A = this chain, B = another copy of it.
Amino acid sequence: MIERYVLRYFLAVVDQGNFTRAAAQCRISQPTLSVGIAKLEASLGQTLFLRNNRRIELTPSGTRFAVHARRIEAEFAAAERDLQDTAPTKLVRIGVATTLPPSWIAAALGRARRASTIERLEVVEGRSSELVALLDRGRGST
């Protein structure tokens, strides 16, 4: 199965025109990149580069594959950008003492949800001592 990292190796070679500079771009050693490309070619059953000359050349298959590879990389980038734009999920875990009237809790939660940007809310019921114990065990909010 083709994984994303070899795809980045492949595109680096296309961009740089040789394996050595491509490896530098990817911040890996040149032999590592070499075996990565070999893996990719093996799993596709296709030679992607002609290494005959000083300059690396794309085969016809390689040229077609490059189109897909660019689209995939672009979509990965778009996905990360898209979710980066929104603030990270705010997880709030609230301990509520069972001694409090449930109606109070419901009302307070309703107000809080409308007023803030909390996406995920967990409510833990229990007596004060139990809630403190939970916090100590690292199940508190961050």
Contact = CB atoms under 8 A, between A and B. Distances in A.
Interface of A: 1-5, 44-47, 50, 52, 59-61, 64-65, 68-69, 71-72, 75-76, 78-80, 82-84, 86, 88-89, 91, 119-120, 122
A45 B81 CA distance: 12
A64 B82 contact: yes
A72 B76 contact: yes
Given A2-B80, A59-B120, A72-B72, 5 more contacts: A2-B79, A68-B75, A68-B76, A71-B75, A72-B75
A5 B120 CA distance: 26
B78 A46 contact: no
